[in-house]
Structure 1
Amino acid sequence: MSDAVDLLIHARWVIPVEPAGLTLERHTVALCGERIAAVLPQDDARRRYPNVPAVELPGHALIPGLVNLHTHAAMTLMRGIADDLPLMRWLQEAVWPAESRHVSAAFVRDGTLLAATEMLRGGITTCNDMYFHPEAAADAYDQAGMRAMLGMVVLDFPTPYAHDADDYLRKGLAVRDRWRDHPRIGFTLAPHAPYTVSDDALARIAALADEIDVPVHMHVHETAGEISDALARHGVRPLLRLQRLGLLGPGFIAVHAVHADATDIDLLARHGCSVAHCPTSNMKLASGIAPVERLLAAGINTGLGTDGAASNNRLDMFAEMRQAALLAKVASGDATAVPAHVALRMATLDGARALGLGERIGSIGAGKLADLCAVNLATLETQPCFDPVSHLVYAVGREHVSHVWVGGRCVLDKGKPLLHGHDNELLRLAAVWQTKLVN
């Protein structure tokens, strides 16, 4: 236990996530700079560090910062632009045409700043983003004080951002080189989906991922139509095609995996892949219900994601935890499937592990980065409280988040973001882009 401490956080409950199932009552998390120095009983902390500044959270649960394993942050500017459509109509009739007309570095910077503020207010300290103009997104996350992994997007067809797969990779790698030493910004390779990227490009991505040691983040097995089209075009299901091209491995994040059958699950498990489960988006687009209980039973690391605000329409990980737990129960017919502690782990440590960050974030323990979220459980709608983890998954909303720290730095204090402009400025940016998008 370190004696070098510069902040104490006294909480009614500390939920460390690891060890699994543990709830610590009336404990303190002691911070030294960007890291956690110790977790100890409050009485011991007050005796040991009598002159250290303290934050008092007498009715709160302190949890690791939430990890949003899949989103398209800039698409927050397209929230509600096209609702109640299936995936391919949603993409082809609404999203792709809007992107071709409006996506720019300014669009991405403004949309990402709006999204980062929404996420931080909901206790999300890290997100795994996939969108164009990653440098503009990096600027926004840096301004907001958030941790982010940015996808180097790859498609075979041209967009206003890039012309072909080589151009996407060249631009993405250049941004990674410029930001590679930033303490909160990291990168993934992000081929969009098996149906939008060719074999040649996917094989290059697999080799590059090994060379530069970054995760691969990709939509896969999202709809039944994707599977049938792949069988007609390639003669195999998408995951088997990706395995043959060398993409599957511990750094591969399969986004959605809604239509993963027993063979697909075996492939994911044997190669040590992770899954980003996005329950709300999957329901809204009628893509289906991912077989989460079977993924977990197979030992597949499974985190949670919101997807983008254009297909959710919230960046709310408390909602995703609740949906993931409830959907698993109704889909399996087993009320014990995805209990509350498992849902919380999926939203924290499992997401961190998928990104290769599990040794740094995702749980509360000495030596880890101090990415923390305080949730107020002393409200009328959260009383009585027999089990704080049950309330975190089944009762509270993101409006109960009071404080957030990223790397030991307070970025949300009593619900107020501290590191960037006022709400009025964000509202003005949103209004400007709404006017542009409807014209």
Structure 2
Amino acid sequence: MSDTSEIDTLIEARWVIPVDARQSVLDNHAIAVHQGNIVDILPAHVAQAKYNTKKNVDLKSHALIPGLINTHTHAAMILMRGLADDLPLMTWLNKYIWPTESRHVDDTFVFDGTRLACAEMLRGGITCFNDMYFFPEAIAQGALATGMRASIGMIAIDFPTPYASDADDYLAKGMALRDKLQSNPLLSFCFAPHAPYTVSDQTLAHILTYADQLEVPIHIHLHETTDEIDISIKSHGMRPIERLHQLGMLGPNLIAVHMVHLNEAEIQLLQQHGCHVVHCPSSNLKLANGFAPTPLLFDQAVNVTLGTDGAASNNRLDLLEEMRLAALLAKATSKRADTLPAYHALEMATINGARALGIDAFTGSLESGKAADITAIDFSDLHLSPCYDPVSHLVYAAGREQVSHVWVNGNILLENKQLTTLDEADLHRRALYWEECIKSSI
């Protein structure tokens, strides 16, 4: 681009933290954005001389980071937040969540819940989420109505729901949806078998075949609880991860969520096969599932990402909080203060998630040629002063209340803490409507 070229937007900031291999922190830099992409990152004074801009955004007290990537959630379950807290996972599912879903979940519920979740995620700096839930077309439409990037789970489970009658029906509907929407630049797709205890070998084998043919990831809950492992040993004579290994499912397209209960041999398997792990610290803590052995996974160079899980089991969609928890838990469980330093925690919430989803060519870091998926964090609050290390502050001190601006694909979706694509009053009305529906059926 010539020195006199016009660009859409120039964003100037106190710091730009691109999340690159050098672990750079760039002082007083600017990001030049044109037609949805980053075209340059350079010192602010040089940028002012080099570019004519349609819009200049001056964020002199802010840090710019890649948009956060929530690698595992069930967005629409935000409409069940707080419905049944302080219960073990299987009790929570069997007595409360699954019965509520059978009564109320349809495409309208999912669309409304997804938009509400998108509002919360945007306010927390999340630009992309990987979702697993029923009625995935409603998830996609909810994300698109917001302007967020989303990886849509083609869910599969071996029992009927209002969405599908059997495993073949789930898969057929999911693949038809992918065929319909895969050209949209904001959407990608994953196969999403719920968990080994709800999906048969036959269904998993079909998914593996389709995933290999279509070159899409497989996103599955795995080794979340000791109950899950006990059920697998009783039913299959082996632990769940060994079952998946025998089926040929371990590979670089596997995104394994939770992975709380792992032994050394299983961690070696993950490393050898290039699998990805999604760490959901708040959900694991709240459901009393234990502590994922993330330090051992890091030691084996397994790609570990971060997810919030659904708001029904977290109860927040706050990836900044997950970064802090992940770092603190890794230090406590390893008894090493240097485990999971702040920059690595930021990588888990950005580029590591993009790699797992297969979208790192165009998002997950701030680089020329990538999509302008950018989050701005305001460091002007008193409790963020003084600042010796902005990355440390991001992980250990800042909160989602400091997120001021969010861009996805160059479009501003949060501006001065105000949502630009969603009607907050309408979101409140729809949330209250579903609250009354659910309360009346309990």
* TM-score between both structures, scaled by the size of structure 2: 0.98
* Deviations 1:77-134 (CA, angstroms, capped at 9, x unpaired): 0000010011111111110111011100000000000001110111100000000001
Match of 2:110 in 1: 108
Contact 2:122–2:414 (Cα < 8 Å) also in 1:
yes
Bigger Cα displacement from structure 2, 224-233 vs 144-153: 224-233
CA RMSD of aligned residues (A): 1.0
Aligned to 1:272: 274
Matched, 1:401 2:403: yes
Displacement of 1:50 in angstroms is: 4.8
Q: Which moved more, 1:170-179 or 1:218-227?
A: 170-179
Structure 1 residue 240: deviation in Å? 1.2
CA–CA distance in structure 1, aligned partners of residues 234 and 6 of structure 2: 62
Contact 2:61 2:378 in 1 (8 A): yes
> Paired residue for 2:236, among 221, 234, 237?
234
Counterpart contact for 2:7–2:53, Cα < 8 Å: no
Residue identity matched to 2:220: M
Structure 2: give runs of 5+ residues left out of the alignment: none
Q: How far apart are the structure 1 equivalents of 2:32 and 2:52?
A: 12
Question: AA paired with 1:430?
Answer: A
Give the CA deviation at 1:18.
0.5
Question: Which residue does 1:333 correspond to in 2?
Answer: 335
Pairs aligned (count): 438
**Match in the other structure for 1:355:** 357
Contact 1:348 1:363 in 2 (8 A): yes
Partners of 1:96 and 1:431 in 2: CA distance: 21
Distance apart, 1:4 and its partner CA: 5.3
2:86 counterpart letter in structure 1: D
Instruction: Confirm whether residue 98 of structure 1 aligns to residue 100 of structure 2.
Output: yes
Equivalent AA in structure 2 for residue 282 of structure 1: N
Alignment of 1:428 with 2:434, yes or no, is no
CA contact (8 A) 1:20 1:341 kept: no
**How far is 1:53 from its partner?**
2.5
Say if 2:6 and 2:53, in contact at 8 Å, map to a contact too. no
Matches within 5 A, 1:20-35: 20-35=22-37
Q: Deviations over 1:325-372 (max 9, x none)?
A: 000011111111111100000000000100001111011111111000
Amino acid at match of 1:19: A
**Letter of the structure 2 residue corresponding to residue 312 of structure 1:** N
Pair 1:51–1:149, CA change in 2 (3 A): closer
**Contact 2:65 / 2:376 at 8 angstroms: preserved in 1?**
yes
Matches of 1:91 and 1:59 in 2, distance apart?
45
Residues 12, 44 of structure 2: 8 Å contact kept: yes
Q: How many angstroms apart in 1 are the aligned matches of 2:371 and 2:250?
A: 29
Deviations 1:128-159, CA, capped at 9 Å, x for gaps: 00000011111110000000001011011111
Query: Any conservation in 1 of the 2:9–2:53 contact (CA below 8 Å)?
Result: no
Map 1:365-380 → 2, pairs under 5 A: 365-380=367-382
**Counterpart residue type for residue 388 of structure 1:** P
Equivalent residues of 2:10, 2:53 under 8 A apart: no
State how far apart, in whole Å, the 2-side matches of 1:361 and 1:53 are: 22
1:382-424 superposed Cα distances (whole Å, 9 cap, x missing partner): 1111111111001111010000000011111001111132x11
Map 1:111-260; keep pairs closer than 5 Å.
111-260=113-262
Q: Could you tell me which amino acid in structure 2 is paired with residue 427 of structure 1?
A: H
- Structure 1: which 4+ aligned runs deviate by more than 6 Å? none
Q: In structure 1, what residue type is equivalent to 2:301?
A: G
- Provide structure 1 residue ranges, at least 5 long, that are not aligned to the other structure: none
Letter in 2 for 1:396: A
SS in 1 for 2:7: coil
Give the distance between the partners of 2:248 and 2:105, measured in 1 at CA.
32
Q: Which amino acid aligns with 1:187?
A: F
Cα distance in 1 for partners of 2:388, 2:188 equals: 39
CA contact (8 A) 1:254 1:276 kept: yes
Q: Say if 2:435 is the partner of 1:437.
A: no
- Cα–Cα, structure 1 residues 39 and 237, in superposed 2: closer, same or farther, change >3 Å? same
How many angstroms apart in 1 are the aligned matches of 2:16 and 2:51?
A: 19
Cα deviation for residue 52 of structure 1 reads 4.8
SS in 2 for 1:115: helix
Amino acid at match of 2:142: A
Letter in 1 for 2:359: L
Query: Amino acid of the residue matched to residue 296 of structure 2?
Result: R
Distance between the aligned counterparts of 1:51 and 1:112, measured in 2? 34
Aligned counterpart, 2:77: 75
CA shift in 2, pair 1:251/1:268, >3 Å: same
Code of the aligned partner of 1:64: P
Of 304, 307, 327, the match for 1:302:
304
**Sequence identity (%):** 54
Q: Residue type matched to 1:362 in 2?
A: G
- Code of the residue aligned with 1:431 in structure 2: it is L
The question of whether the paired residues in 2 share the 8 Å contact of 1:303 and 1:346 is answered with yes
One-letter code of the match for 1:425?
D
1:230–1:237 CA contact under 8 A, matched in 2 = yes
1:389 corresponds, among 366, 388, 391, to: 391
Letter in 2 for 1:145: G
Whether contact under 8 Å (1:109, 1:136) holds in the other structure is yes
- Aligned partner letter, 2:16: V
Q: Give the CA deviation at 1:51.
A: 4.9
- How far apart are 1:244 and its partner, in Å? 1.2
| Per-residue CA distance 1:216-244 (angstroms, 9 max, x = gap) | 00000001111122112111111111111
Aligned-pair CA distance for 1:35: 0.7
- Residue of structure 1 in register with 2:324 after alignment: 322
**1:46-65 matched pairs, under 5 angstroms:** 46-65=48-67
Q: Tell me by how many angstroms 1:19 deviates.
A: 2.5
Structure-2 separation of matches of 1:170 and 1:29: 42
Q: Structure 1 266/51 Cα, relative in aligned 2: closer, same or farther at 3 Å? A: closer
Question: Structure 2 counterpart of 1:156, which letter?
Answer: D
Deviation at 1:20, TM superposition (A): 3.9
Where 1:6 maps in the other structure, the secondary structure is strand
- Counterpart residue type for residue 429 of structure 1: R
